[in-house]
Amino acid sequence: MTDIPPSATYPLLGLMSGSSLDGLDIAACLLKVEHGSWSYAIEAAATYPFPDNLRALLQEAGGRRTDYEVAAADRELGAFTADSIRAFLAAYNVTPPLWIAQHGHTLVHAPAEGYSLQIGNAELIARATGIPVVSDFRNADIAAGGQGAPLVPICDALLFSDYAVCLNIGGIANISFVRQGERIGYDVCPANQLLNFLAGKVALPYDAEGSMARSGHINQGLLEALEQQPYYRLPAPKSLDNTYVQQHFIALLEEYDIPLNDALRTCTEQIAMRISSSLQAAGAGSNDRILVSGGGAWNTFLIERIQHLSGIPITLPESNIIAFKEALAMALMAALYMRKENNCLPSVTGARYAVSGGNLQLPEHL
């Protein structure tokens, strides 16, 4: 793209595979820009659950396995993604997408070591679907000295600036807000990763509406141990890695032989404490609008605890934003990348300068 029009409309598919390993989110997004002002519409959206064998493969590949296992997971996720895209486009009457924006599944996120690895074989997806794919959104920011995370605050800044605070409660909870004219954002704490891990002990994908946690009791020893994690003493900008969560938080949960409902109650309380503290640090008040997205927004008990501890009322947005805001954010990042505009915020990531992160994979016929 040599000439970048000041006004344009871009149909894209935004894809997101989160750390909760529940499946692949696909959102057909129409993004419109008019002289720097962006707006959006989600034409259709759906989640394609990972089959058990793929979920197991992704879990194993995330444990620093062999190159062969990582490559196999990359290929299998790419094939599943391509099949899901074809099924999505067959099921929904959406504007034909110019590009696919693929986040991929994060195996390791190590900005201090200079890299972040998302798999999902963008080359395979482009050739299987016939649609160009933009992927690898994090590493340009890391190369510029940033965390490469969180990515979604650019979406908060351009599409949801009328909210005082944007909070996403996914596998990891993150927050963004404006302070002294700059967008600030960081990963708050592990969230659904912990709750889903515990629910999995009784073969459940998650604790629906927090019902098991609601019936449990707080274990003070576990609560204090969770609160003592070193990550919470780090200043922003900062981000969490799935491997770090496994080694420090999940491993800690395994040390406590307590009733499952008590473990869920304790983790829910600790997540609510951390989020409430971050809301207060953001300067949020009782009259401010708080945008909450991610699967944790459906956890009624968790939302109740956040409201109780923070004193801030929370009104949930439409369901498509709760479930597919991150997929929308990927679509926006791809549109910015194709316009050769910056799509990472150094005020969020700590990078030395703003970058336009991404790599483009073309189908064979282009």
Q: How confident is the model at residue 59 (pLDDT cuts 50, 70, 90)?
A: confident
Pair 137, 95: CB distance under 8 Å: no
Confidence of residue 64 (pLDDT cuts 50, 70, 90): low
93 phi and psi angles, rounded to 5 deg: -90, 90
Question: Average pLDDT of the chain?
Answer: 95
**Per the structure block, which two tokens stand in for 87?**
């099924």
pLDDT band at 63 (very low <50, low <70, confident <90, very high): low
Q: By C-alpha distance, which of 301, 302, 170 is closest to 242?
A: 170
Pull the structure tokens for residue 275: 């989020």
Which range among 3-7, 59-63, 141-145, 236-240 shows the weakest confidence by mean pLDDT? 59-63
Query: Pairing state of beta strands 165-169 and 290-293?
Result: parallel
pLDDT per residue as tens digits for the range 89-126: 999 999 999 999 999 999 889 999 999 999 999 999 99
Question: Residue for token digits 């190590």?
Answer: 110
pLDDT of residue 366: 53
Q: What is the mean pLDDT of residues 19-37?
A: 94
The pLDDT tens digits for 185-232 are: 999 999 999 999 999 999 999 999 999 999 999 999 999 999 999 999
Peptide bond into 237 cis (omega under 30): yes
pLDDT in tens, 220-271: 999 999 999 999 999 999 999 888 999 999 999 999 999 999 999 999 999 9
Return the DSSP state at 95: P
- Would you place residue 179 in the very low, low, confident or very high pLDDT band (cuts 50, 70, 90)? very high
Count of all residues that appear for the chain in the document: 366
Helix axes 67-91, 122-129, angle to 10 degrees: 30
Provide φ and ψ at 116, rounded to 5°: -145, 135
- Position 2 scores a pLDDT of 56
pLDDT over 90 for what percent of the chain? 91
Query: How many other C-beta atoms lie within 10 A of the C-beta of residue 35?
Result: 6
What pLDDT shows up at residue 365?
Answer: 65
Parallel, antiparallel or unpaired: strands 7-16 and 182-190: unpaired
Q: Which residue ranges form the domains of the chain, and what is each CATH number? A: 7-148+326-361 (3.30.420.40), 153-317 (3.30.420.40)
Q: What distance in Å separates the CA atoms of residue 365 and residue 249, rounded to the nearest whole number?
A: 47
Q: Please give the model's pTM, rounded to 2 decimal places.
A: 0.95
3-state SS, one letter per residue, for 148-195: CCCCCHHHHHHHCCCCCEEEEECCEEEEEEEECCEEEEEEEEECHHHH
Distance CA 282, CA 77 (A): 37
